[in-house]
Chain A
Amino acid sequence: MKTTDTSSYQHFLKVVDCQHACPAHTPVPEYIRLIAEKRYTAAYMINWESNVFPGVLGRVCDRPCEPACRRSRVEEKPVAICRLKRVAADNKEDIHPYLPKVPTEKNGKRIALIGAGPASLTVARDLLPLGYDIVLFERDPKAGGMMRSQIPAFRLPETVLDEELNYILNMGVESHFGEDISSLSNLLKSGFDAVFVGTGAPNGRWLTIPGHDQVNCDGSTSVDTGINWLSNVTFGHNDSAPKRVVVLGGGNTAMDCCRTAKRLGATEVTVLVRSSFAAMKASPWEKEDAQAEGISIKANYTPIEYVLEAGKFVGVNFEQVTSVYDESGKRTLSNTGATLFVACDLVLVAVGQDTAFPWIERDIGLRFNKWQQPALNKATLQSSLEQVFFGGDAAYGPKNIITAVANGHQAAISIDIFCQGKNAETDRPESAFNLISQKMGIHDWSYDSNIDHQARNLVPHISWEEAVKTLNTEVELGFDEKLALEEAQRCLNCDVHTVFNESTCIECSACEDVCPTDCISFVDAGNEENSEAVNDQHILSQLKVTELNPEQELFVSAPLKTGHLMIKDEDVCLHCGLCAERCPTGAWDMKKLLLDNIAATIK
């Protein structure tokens, strides 16, 4: 087995599961520790650096970090990382003194950003302090992209969004709201040094089932795409819903549609989805909240027809299906033969979104792939037209806010390098890193190494009966200080690494014996005459417990004095520091990972 390479941060970053899973690599444990110390402003700023919209994301982030959280491998539930982020945002003081200074003397480079969603605004935030002139074009009257137009205020209050948008807009963005870019070619002629396309995936998909061409012909809106309808609600073009509403689809858009419809007066709201309930794309907490608000979710129904009587829309016909999975996990739907008619007044179609680039001329050298998506360099987000960069939903289709932010950081780095006349890929900076010992005394650490065994705290919310009465009242109340401090204790400090030093280990096995989760194994390395595969097998067979998650690489030491190897299963380490406390020679130390350029670690 190859000795683990510790010359770069890669291995260490991977161990910090939440941070690694966060597309923007937000230093989660660091901000949770700050919350535990009630240093909310500092906790907020750590977030702000990485994810730009902590108040927004502390409410509505997709939270890829939580399923990754190590805690869920040793007990039931992950740390409530997202809710803690909100705690930092809710309790921070004025952050203006800590915002980066924007130089009054500019560097002479002008960058156009198309679309004012999270991707573009991240680029703006990253480039303004470097002296760039930022010109923003947005077709909507206000900034925010889908954070504003799509995410309902009962999940994300407008004040929270505005506050975080203004931190950026007030850094000196030249904004052009209400301005639709209809030709990239023309824009390019206006002399920008680079263009960033952050136009999202604005087109809702329709379902072209029988009846599709006949509905809405009478001037009514009986069938709409969910995203059209939601943005009409946001911008005040739509303030009521009919009595009976059917929502088609099982993703987060469907959940926002049904909950909004209920608030606008619908009394019978039904979500019908092709997949099983468990396989629905919506986040589990969105489903729970929708159901708590009295919305019925019918799984395993696929729509087959819009039904009209005398030219008037009356409802939707469904076929009942079951999901059948083959060995590779691929799903096919098989028909049960049963059908269902659901009478309704409005159908909201929430079955997907697409990017839309009719405004990018196909003869200007910007290559599109066979799916009509721009062909991009994944590392740089640069298109085949070297001064044009993409990010967010526009780059690879609909994802989420935190991915858009991560793309924004990546693209900002690329644009900065490109504007210096260098190659965005080969001249890309890499983050330096440092491992800082947490040792204070013989067995004292500067982090709280104690393992707290409490279960996850639930977030308080207003009553479900109240919730459905008003459109814009936020449902979740967030953690109060007591809950926040309790929840913060659950974090295992995965960024405080066990760092091993072969040269001082006397192979006493104290660390192996004491480890509560059997992470450490001293093993015989096998025989040089054997093939590497045979030796690897021999090594793996000696691990105290077989590896749970091969994704998380084992740490493999260099050979020790006896020729044995120390293998550490990083996957379930609690970072409790016991190994280091029980080591007689200090061969283990607990060291905190510090990255000096987190944006550069986004690959």
Chain B
Amino acid sequence: MSFQKSKFHHPRLPVNDLGLNYRDYEGALSTLCAGCGHDSITSAIVQACFELSLPPHQVAKMSGIGCSSKAPNYFLNKAHGFNTVHGRMPSVTTGANLANRELTYLAMSGDGDSASIGLGQFAHVVRRQLNMLYMVANNGVYGLTKGQLAATADRGMKNKVGEQSLFTDIDLCVMALQLGATFVARSFSGDKKQLVPLIKAAISHQGFAFIDIISPCVTFNNHPDSTRSYDYVHQHITTAAVTDFVPVKQEITSDCAAGICEDICLHDGSLMRIHKLQPDYETKNAMKAIVDIETHKKKGEILTGLFYLDANGEHYHEINNTTDTPLNKLTQDDLCPGSRVLSGINDSFR
């Protein structure tokens, strides 16, 4: 059994603007089950952060409890991180983000962590428009506790021991759309061509970005009755639109043909180029996105891609008009400017 991955790498690995190669963004060797979809998400995050040239020490990895919430240990081992309690990642992230708005918040949660015990926390962090990337590894079960059905499991689906999901499933993308998230997407752990640009765009996006990532649990939810197995997902996935992420510095070469292609400029000047696969696809209509998701679900299809994007929406700090200086950088003098300033303020009320 290997506990370490060799540090030898391909001699041709490209390096990014910081002179790092993608392997510099890795973490410990995963201890999840062999074949777990979460590991593919990990590798997509590593690739996205590498391609964005994120300085690892400017990233905070946040998670709750679950196999999915263990995943941050397996990427960006030079970043900050907080593995919180079950379902409470959003509050801890809110606190961290308040204290230091300059870090990039990458949050990884599970469908149990977010749609069951943490549903309230999830709803409120969306409402709050916290500037973060919130990813859910959606496997339809509680993997870590041996495969109980999660609230995201499609109604009627059976788990490995034959127990049926009797209740309506929760669609976290639909909830996020209802509650005002400004970036909402769904993807599949096995489709890195789609997932990596989405993660890059979501990180560049200023505001609350949510990606629900179908991520098969190979041990407890990969059986023939499952709607989250590799085979089922491979067969039922449909893509609304293919997204490319074009960073600020890169020149945009080809034209964007009207009708089938759309360029969306993100806050930092980078661009999302959307190639529509469904003719009536729109990125600015949350209501329609909800209808699209539900309509495909009725047909037994899993719709993936970017559902909604409002590149100009406000985020938590903007809504609250907080100071541009991160709170953790405010000094005693900034916070307590002394009696002379106080008397000035008092004078202004006289």
In the complex, what residues of A have CB within 8 A of residue B36's CB? 510
Asked whether A73 and B11 contact (CB < 8 A) given A443-B2, A510-B36, the answer is yes
In the complex, what residues of A have CB within 8 A of residue B190's CB? 507-509
Instruction: For the complex, count residues of B whose C-beta is within 8 A of A.
Output: 34
Interface residue B230 (Cβ < 8 Å from any Cβ of A): yes
Asked whether A443 and B1 contact (CB < 8 A) given A506-B231, A581-B34, A584-B34, the answer is yes
Which residues 178-208 of B have a CB within 8 angstroms of A?
189-190, 192
Which residues 1-35 of B have a CB within 8 angstroms of A?
1-2, 4-13, 23, 29-30, 33-35
Report the bound CA distance from A158 to B35 in whole Å: 58
Interface residue A574 (Cβ < 8 Å from any Cβ of B): yes
B234 touches A507 (CB 8 A): yes
B8 touches A507 (CB 8 A): no
A513 touches B34 (CB 8 A): no
In the complex, what residues of B have CB within 8 A of residue A510's CB? 34-36, 39-40
In the complex, what residues of A have CB within 8 A of residue B192's CB? 509
In the complex, what residues of A have CB within 8 A of residue B143's CB? none
Report the bound CA distance from A578 to B8 in whole Å: 13
Interface residue A451 (Cβ < 8 Å from any Cβ of B): yes
Can you list 27 residue pairs at the A/B interface with Cβ under 8 Å? Answer: A74-B8, A75-B8, A442-B1, A443-B1, A443-B2, A444-B1, A453-B8, A506-B222, A508-B190, A508-B216, A508-B230, A509-B43, A513-B39, A513-B42, A514-B5, A516-B7, A516-B9, A518-B9, A518-B10, A519-B10, A545-B13, A574-B6, A576-B6, A578-B2, A582-B30, A582-B34, A584-B35
CB distance from A415 to the nearest CB of B (A): 45
In the complex, what residues of A have CB within 8 A of residue B29's CB? 514
B40 touches A584 (CB 8 A): no
Interface residue A449 (Cβ < 8 Å from any Cβ of B): yes
Interface residue A533 (Cβ < 8 Å from any Cβ of B): no
Which residues 490-509 of A have a CB within 8 angstroms of B?
506-509
B40 touches A516 (CB 8 A): no
Interface residue B144 (Cβ < 8 Å from any Cβ of A): no
In the complex, what residues of A have CB within 8 A of residue B305's CB? none
- The answer, among A450, A562, A584, for a CB contact under 8 Å with B33, is A584
In the complex, what residues of A have CB within 8 A of residue B23's CB? 516
Asked whether A506 and B13 contact (CB < 8 A) given A562-B234, A576-B6, the answer is no
Which residues 439-473 of A have a CB within 8 angstroms of B?
442-444, 449-451, 453
Q: Known pairs A516-B7, A576-B2. 5 more at Cβ < 8 A?
A: A510-B35, A513-B40, A516-B9, A517-B9, A548-B12
CB distance from B191 to the nearest CB of A (A): 9
Asked whether A577 and B2 contact (CB < 8 A) given A508-B218, A582-B34, the answer is yes
- The answer, among A561, A572, A577, A585, for a CB contact under 8 Å with B234, is A561
Report the bound CA distance from A516 to B43 in whole Å: 12
In the complex, what residues of A have CB within 8 A of residue B7's CB? 453, 516
In the complex, what residues of A have CB within 8 A of residue B13's CB? 518, 545
Q: A residues near B, CB below 8 A?
A: 73-75, 442-444, 449-451, 453, 506-510, 513-514, 516-519, 544-546, 548, 561-562, 572, 574, 576-578, 581-585
Most buried by B among A562, A584, A585: A584
- Chain B residue nearest to A583 (CB atoms) is B34
- Chain B residue nearest to A75 (CB atoms) is B8
Interface residue B118 (Cβ < 8 Å from any Cβ of A): no
Interface residue B37 (Cβ < 8 Å from any Cβ of A): yes
Report the bound CA distance from A346 to B190 in whole Å: 73
In the complex, what residues of B have CB within 8 A of residue A576's CB? 2, 5-6
- Chain A residue nearest to B44 (CB atoms) is A513
Report the bound CA distance from A423 to B37 in whole Å: 58
Most buried by B among A451, A453, A509, A578: A509
B9 touches A74 (CB 8 A): yes
Report the bound CA distance from A513 to B44 in whole Å: 9
In the complex, what residues of B have CB within 8 A of residue A508's CB? 35, 37, 40, 190, 216, 218, 230
- The answer, among B8, B39, B218, B231, for a CB contact under 8 Å with A514, is B39
- Chain B residue nearest to A74 (CB atoms) is B8
Report the bound CA distance from A264 to B29 in whole Å: 60
- Chain B residue nearest to A450 (CB atoms) is B2
In the complex, what residues of B have CB within 8 A of residue A453's CB? 6-8
B224-254 near A? 1/0 per residue, CB < 8 Å: 0000001100100000000000000000000
A561 touches B231 (CB 8 A): yes
In the complex, what residues of B have CB within 8 A of residue A585's CB? 35
- The answer, among A516, A545, A584, for a CB contact under 8 Å with B12, is A545
Report the bound CA distance from A516 to B29 in whole Å: 11
Q: Rank and list the top 7 A-B pairs by shortest CB-CB distance, nearest first.
A: A584-B35, A451-B6, A443-B1, A513-B43, A74-B8, A508-B35, A516-B6
Report the bound CA distance from A509 to B192 in whole Å: 10
Report the bound CA distance from A443 to B5 in whole Å: 14
In the complex, what residues of B have CB within 8 A of residue A507's CB? 190, 230, 234
CB distance from B39 to the nearest CB of A (A): 6
- The answer, among A450, A572, A577, A583, for a CB contact under 8 Å with B11, is A572
